[in-house]
């Protein structure tokens, strides 16, 4: 997940901050938080690639009027990067929703069964 040239220290700090905020309990919650961290880290990478691609294309066009140069660069930006960005967004959101659902199930495990008393839950 951390490629050569990327900072393992920054990834670990990001993961630690996410863990501190979400306070995962147990293996499944830890896996979900790790999945969120990896998806977000990969999205950071995609954003960097998109910035580099647009900058490269804008410089390659060498048009003196920046708005035109930037517009040409955006037009040529790789749509695959946008697809990856969307997919990673969904991965992060899905993991967060699973974490929230898991936590709700722990709080009220018998809420769906009205016949059970609180002591039976």
- 103-113 per-position pLDDT tens digit: 999 887 565 55
Contact 6, 45 (CB under 8 A): yes
Residue 96 has pLDDT above 70, yes or no: yes
Cβ of 63: how many Cβ atoms within 10 Å?
14
How does the average pLDDT of the chain come out, rounded? 83
- pLDDT-derived band at 55 (thresholds 50, 70, 90) equals confident
Contact 37, 92 (CB under 8 A): no
Token pair belonging to 6: 């990327």
HEC sequence for 86-114: HHHHHHHHHHHHHHHHHHHHHHCCCCCCC
Picking from 45, 50, 82, 47, the residue whose alpha carbon sits closest to that of residue 58 is 50
Token pair belonging to 44: 């950071």
- pLDDT-derived band at 6 (thresholds 50, 70, 90) equals very high
Higher-pLDDT residue of 82 and 116 is: 82
Residue 117 has pLDDT above 50, yes or no: no
**How far, in Å, CA of 110 to CA of 17, rounded?**
33
Residue 101 has pLDDT above 90, yes or no: yes
> Lowest-confidence range among 6-20, 23-37, 72-86?
72-86
What is the structure's pLDDT at 54?
Answer: 73
**How far, in Å, CA of 77 to CA of 83, rounded?**
12
Higher-pLDDT residue of 3 and 76 is: 3
What is the structure's pLDDT at 90?
Answer: 96
């Amino acid at each position: 997940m951390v490629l050569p040239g990327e900072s393992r220290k920054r990834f670990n700090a990001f993961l630690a901050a996410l863990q501190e905020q979400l306070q995962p309990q147990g293996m499944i919650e830890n896996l979900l938080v790790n999945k969120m961290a990896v998806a977000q880290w990969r999205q950071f990478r995609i954003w960097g690639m998109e910035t580099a691609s647009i900058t490269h294309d804008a410089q390659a066009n060498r048009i003196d009027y920046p708005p035109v140069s930037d517009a040409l660069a955006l037009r040529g930006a790789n749509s695959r990067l946008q697809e990856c960005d969307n997919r990673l967004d969904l991965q992060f959101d899905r993991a967060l929703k699973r974490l929230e659902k898991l936590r709700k199930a722990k709080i009220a495990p018998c809420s769906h069964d009205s016949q059970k008393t609180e002591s039976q839950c």
